[in-house]
């Protein structure tokens, strides 16, 4: 029996955070929740604290932190409430924390993720933007500190599971020729290009296979999610962009594949449920029950694969361009995408305008070398300003 390990969950009120708590609840003898972090959903955090009794709760929003502090005091829970991004970093570096689920959506998760890596924790990376933005800087910190970085995205986790025994992300694996990321194709896989201009946020968030937050659902619909995953894969598995392929697989049963030098293709299959990669990463190198229903191959009957349509979904091409350019280009791509997606969700930009804004921002800012974290943060801020400037005057053209 393994000893109990302390877990900090950044983004505990999001879909990944909630799924992580579901898996932990199945194994109270193996895992203990030490810290919970969220932005402002204080009521849900208080309920999570009531159930799991962590040492610390951190809310980024000051008013939400005050509300949570009062509610936790009323419940007489042995949990202290902290506030702010710096408090998130302090929570994940506590000696009682062994595993950190980094699941804060967007660029906000970068600094606490870096803090966890520098503290040599096992970091379960669900925040793809942290890796896309900081790129080699984050991987250099992983190697320097000796942290274990295990991907939670179903695709990268599948690749990790198909790698040779003992492999950890950050280095090239012997004998691996390429990796193949699978994509569901999203809700608009068969939608005519002309009709994409008028799709609504509700339609974009109605993913056919996965239950996800609104931002990542839109990224899946534009295929930007897959583009960000291409950039991630080049960093996690030390491969050039040309050796990271993407194939559309509507059934979402094969989560990704690894091709070896001898021609063998190894694939990881499973039901489309994030509790599988979460359980794998929590227990690695062991295996534990995840609560996921077994896959019935007879019911699935067949598996289909097709090439992605880069003309209808240009975000994938833009991400590949950024991966090849390197430097600040991935951070610029990510920042412009976050601003454009939020504008779409706010109905200030139409669906096809998302890629158009990203393209214009990348064309204007290009790529600069990255030597420090400040280089990344400055590129991120510049891209956000420029994207916002493009969106407002262009509302008539895009919206």
What pLDDT digit, counting tens, does each position of 144-159 carry? Answer: 999 999 999 999 999 9
Residue 349 pLDDT > 80? yes
- When pLDDT is cut at 50, 70 and 90, the band that residue 195 belongs to is very high
Please give the share of the chain, as a percent, with pLDDT higher than 90: 85
What is the model's pLDDT at position 163?
97
What is the model's pLDDT at position 107?
67
What pLDDT digit, counting tens, does each position of 240-249 carry? Answer: 999 999 999 9
What is the model's pLDDT at position 2?
56
- When pLDDT is cut at 50, 70 and 90, the band that residue 216 belongs to is confident
Q: At what angle do helices 351-365 and 329-345 cross, to 10 degrees?
A: 150
- When pLDDT is cut at 50, 70 and 90, the band that residue 106 belongs to is low
What pLDDT digit, counting tens, does each position of 221-267 carry? Answer: 999 999 999 999 999 999 999 999 999 999 999 999 999 999 999 99
Place of tokens 């077994």: 294
What is the model's pLDDT at position 10?
96
Q: What is the mean pLDDT of the chain?
A: 93
Three state DSSP letters for the chain: CCCCEEEEEECCCCHHHHHHHHHHHCCCCCEEEEEEEECCCHHHHHHHHHHHCCCEEEECCHHHHHHHHHHHHHHCCCCEEEECHHHHHHHHCCCCCCEEEECCCCHHHHHHHHHHHHCCCEEEECCHHHHHHHCHHHHHHHHHHCCEEEECCHHHHHHHHHCCCCCCCCCCCCCEEEEEEEECCCCCCCCCCHHHHHCCHHHHCCCCCCCCCHHHHHHHHHCHHHHHHHHHHHHHCCCCHHHEEEEECCCCCEEEEEEECCCCEEEEECCCCCHHHHHHHHHCCCCCCCCCCCCCHHHHCCCCCECCCCCCCHHHHHHHHHHHHCCCHHHHHHHHHHHHHHHHHCCCCCHHHHHHHHHHHHHHHCCCCCCCHHHHHHHHHHHHHHHHHHHCCCHHHHC
Domains by residue range for the chain, with CATH: 5-151 (3.40.50.720), 153-324 (no CATH), 326-399 (1.10.1740.10)
274 vs 134 pLDDT, higher one: 274
Task: Read off the pTM.
Answer: 0.91
What is the model's pLDDT at position 209?
64
- When pLDDT is cut at 50, 70 and 90, the band that residue 129 belongs to is confident
What is the model's pLDDT at position 393?
64
Residue 110 pLDDT > 80? yes
What is the model's pLDDT at position 237?
97
- When pLDDT is cut at 50, 70 and 90, the band that residue 326 belongs to is very high
d(CA 230, CA 163): 17
What is the model's pLDDT at position 396?
41
What is the model's pLDDT at position 210?
61
Please state the rounded mean pLDDT for residues 66-79.
96
The count of residues in the chain is 399
Please state the rounded mean pLDDT for residues 354-362.
97
Residue 1 pLDDT > 70? no
What is the model's pLDDT at position 154?
93
R_g (Cα) of the chain, nearest Å:
20
Please state the rounded mean pLDDT for residues 205-216.
75
Residue 399 pLDDT > 60? no
What pLDDT digit, counting tens, does each position of 51-64 carry? Answer: 999 999 999 999 99
Residue 395 pLDDT > 70? no
Residue 56 neighbours by CB distance under 10 Å: 23
Please give the share of the chain, as a percent, with pLDDT higher than 70: 96
């Amino acid at each position: 029996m393994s000893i109990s390990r302390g877990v900090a969950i950044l983004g505990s009120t999001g879909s990944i955070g909630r799924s992580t708590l579901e898996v932990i609840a199945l194994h109270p003898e193996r895992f203990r929740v030490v810290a919970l972090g969220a932005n402002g959903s204080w009521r849900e955090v208080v309920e999570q604290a009531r159930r799991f009794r962590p040492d610390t709760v951190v809310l980024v929003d000051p008013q939400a932190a005050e509300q949570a502090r009062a509610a936790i005091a009323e419940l007489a829970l042995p949990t202290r409430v902290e506030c702010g991004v710096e408090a998130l970093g302090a929570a994940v570096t506590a000696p009682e924390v062994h595993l950190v689920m980094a699941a804060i959506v967007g660029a906000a998760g970068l600094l606490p993720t870096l803090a966890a890596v520098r503290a040599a924790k096992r970091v379960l990376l669900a925040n793809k933007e942290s890796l896309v933005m900081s790129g080699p800087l984050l991987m250099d910190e992983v190697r320097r500190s000796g942290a274990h970085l295990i991907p939670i995205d179903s695709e990268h986790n599948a690749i990790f599971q198909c790698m040779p025994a003992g492999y950890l992300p950050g280095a090239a694996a012997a004998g691996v020729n390429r990796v193949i990321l699978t994509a569901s194709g999203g809700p608009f896989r068969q939608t005519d290009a002309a009709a994409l201009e008028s799709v609504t946020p509700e339609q974009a968030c109605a993913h056919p296979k996965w239950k996800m937050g609104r931002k990542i659902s839109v990224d899946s619909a534009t295929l930007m999610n897959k583009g960000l995953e291409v950039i991630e894969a080049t960093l996690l598995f030390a491969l050039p962009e040309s050796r990271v392929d993407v194939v559309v697989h509507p059934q979402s049963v094969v989560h990704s594949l690894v091709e070896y030098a001898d021609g063998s293709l190894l694939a990881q299959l499973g039901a489309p449920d994030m509790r599988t990669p979460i359980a794998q990463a929590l227990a690695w190198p062991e295996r534990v029950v995840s609560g996921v229903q077994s896959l019935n191959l007879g019911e699935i009957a067949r598996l289909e694969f097709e090439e992605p349509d880069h003309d209808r979904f240009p975000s994938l091409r833009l991400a590949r361009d950024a991966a090849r350019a390197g430097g600040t280009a991935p951070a610029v791509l990510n920042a412009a995408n976050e601003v454009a997606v939020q504008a779409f969700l706010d109905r200030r930009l139409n669906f096809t305008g998302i890629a158009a804004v990203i393209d214009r921002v990348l064309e204007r800012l290009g790529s600069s070398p990255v030597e420090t974290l400040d280089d990344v943060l400055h590129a991120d801020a510049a891209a956000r300003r420029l994207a916002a400037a493009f969106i407002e005057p262009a509302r008539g053209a895009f919206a």
